[in-house]
Amino acid sequence: MNPSSLKSRFATRFLRALTQIHARKPICPSSPTEIFRRYRRIKAAADKSMAYSVRSRRTWTGAVLWKLRSRSCGRRSVKTSTLVKSQQAIEKKTRHEKQNKNTTTTTGGHGVGFGVEATASELRELVPGGEAMDYCNLLDETAHYIKCLTTQVKVMKKIADFYSL
């Protein structure tokens, strides 16, 4: 395994976090609530490790980290205001595109023709930080995000297999 690959970087970080999480000794380690809490923590650790492990900072990594931080600090309205701004940016862009193309933009990413490209809102929801990007960059981010997700899944699978031995 390449010691400096994304895979190994993520694996080390994630394992470190995992051992930390498992090192906590709650009162009742096997209760569903406790398991659920651990699940949330592990998932957050996985996302965080992945976001930190990429070499080139991407929009989605920043969005992931930001979400995690805001969540840990409690839900705040900062996020909503940011989202509102991004929505406005997107609307402006789509309006401009409409003028240029005279096509009707469809929502939800479903549709045929060029209109679907302008919004692709479903994809935007999936990819963190995807709300405020134009379609081209969104596809870029999606590609990188998919690559990182597959790495994440692979590593976590192996860890889970190992743990379950």
Partner 1 sequence: MAEVLNRTATRQPTWNTSGFVTEMQSNELNCATEQVGNYFLNPNWDNSMDQSDPFESALSSMVSSPAASNVLPVSGENVMMRELIGKLGNICNSGDISPQFSIKPNTNTGSANASFNSTPLNSPPRLNLSMVNLPAAFSADPGFAERAARFSCFSGLNDPLMDSFKLSGNQSIKVDGSQSIKNSPMEANSPENAESGVSKEDSSVSQQIPARNDAGTRKRKSIPRGKAKEIPSPAAADAKVATENGESNSKRSKQDGSPGNGNEKQNKENSKPPEPPKDYIHVRARRGQATDSHSLAERVRREKISERMKFLQDLVPGCNKVTGKAVMLDEIINYVQSLQRQVEFLSMKLANVNPRTDINMEALLSKDMFQSRGSLLHGIYSMDSSAPTFPFGYQPQQGLHLNSGIPNATETQFSMKTQGFQLPSIDGFTDANPHVGSIWEDDLQSIVQMGFGQNQPQGYQGSIATGQVKIEL
- Binding stretches for partner 1 (CB under 8 A): 1, 7-8, 11-12, 15-16, 18-19, 22, 29-30, 32, 35-36, 38-39, 41-43, 46-47, 100-101, 109-112, 114, 116-117, 120, 122-123, 126-127, 135-137, 139-140, 142-147, 149-150, 152-153, 155-165
Q: Say whether 61 sits in a helix, a strand or coil.
A: helix
Measure the CA–CA gap between 134 and 120, rounded to whole angstroms. Answer: 10
- At residue 122's C-alpha, the angle toward residues 84 and 142, to 5°, is 95
In the bound complex, what is the minimum distance in angstroms from residue 104's beta carbon to partner 1?
A: 14
Nearer to partner 1, 57 or 76 (CB): 57
Nearer to partner 1, 30 or 72 (CB): 30
In the bound complex, what is the minimum distance in angstroms from residue 33's beta carbon to partner 1?
A: 9
Torsion sign, CA atoms 130, 6, 65, 157: positive
In the bound complex, what is the minimum distance in angstroms from residue 37's beta carbon to partner 1?
A: 8
126 contacts 108 by C-beta, under 8 angstroms: no
Nearer to partner 1, 31 or 81 (CB): 31
First to last CA, the chain: 22
Nearer to partner 1, 77 or 162 (CB): 162
How far does Cα 117 stand from its chain's mean position?
Answer: 21
